[in-house]
Amino acid sequence: MAKLYFRYGTVGSAKTLNLLAVAHNYRQQGKKILLMKPDLDTRFGKERIKSRAGLETQADVLIVDEKSLQGIDYSGISCILVDEVQFLPAKAIDELRRITMEWDLPILCYGLRTDFKSQLFEGSARMMELADSIEEIKATCYFCNRKSIMNLKHVNGAATCEGPTVELGAEEKYFPACYKCYKYEINKAMRKQKTAACTA
């Protein structure tokens, strides 16, 4: 039976670049693939899948919920690649799982594991529960040379844990960070806020 893969990493870990490289390899062999992404990811254009390295392509399917994946003829497809899987609802992940079984199709999903509050995204949590293979795409911390495991949000140069869980952005808003640097930056921002409140 074909497998459901979850390849996760922090921001800046070249997840989309990895996806595009896999897509290129399949196409170079003359194999047909389907590229998918969440409908809500409009950072680089609604139908564009783009890496920070500048490579890009067009998505074949925009996923809103599980219904977006139903009624598609998957015959002749060699592989399905899904970008930004963390933004998908759990039921869409269930549907991807079903497709691997019913169509015997490998599905490779790329995305973040946790948000900037260090909480699992809904889509990522379901992937952790259902995926046959879970692989980490490693990257280094923005502040030091340790491995990054956190996604640090910053606003006006200061770290923050405030705001909605889903808030689109790239390097202008998020840094990859190890846990030590993540906590240091958050605590530093909290101290500054406390000092500003005391002097106001």
Residues facing residue 48 across a β-bridge: 58
CATH code (residue 195): 3.40.50.300
The dihedral built from the CA positions of residue 142, 86, 153 and 178, taken in this order, carries a sign that is negative
The mean pLDDT of 178-188, rounded to a whole number, is 93
DSSP SS3 for 191: helix
Q: In terms of residue numbers, what domain contains 35?
A: 4-199
Residue 164 has pLDDT above 70, yes or no: no
What is the number of other CB atoms lying within 10 angstroms of the CB of residue 59?
21
- Check 66, 84, 122, 162 and give the catalytic one: 84
Both structure tokens of 66: 């599980």
Task: Indicate the number of domains in the chain.
Answer: 1
Phi and psi at residue 184, in whole multiples of 5°? -60, -45
Return the higher-pLDDT residue of 105 and 51.
105
Residue 195 has pLDDT above 50, yes or no: yes
Both structure tokens of 33: 């693939």
89, 65 Cβ separation under 8 angstroms: yes
The mean pLDDT of 77-93, rounded to a whole number, is 96
The predicted model scores a pTM of 0.88
Contacts of 198 (CB under 8 A, 6+ apart): none
Residue 167 has pLDDT above 70, yes or no: no
Residue 199 has pLDDT above 50, yes or no: no
Contacts of 120 (CB under 8 A, 6+ apart): 113, 114, 128
Q: What is the pLDDT of residues 124-157, one digit of tens each?
A: 999 999 999 999 999 999 999 999 999 998 887 7
Active site residue 84: yes
Residue 98 has pLDDT above 90, yes or no: yes
39, 46 Cβ separation under 8 angstroms: yes
Phi and psi at residue 149, in whole multiples of 5°? -130, -5
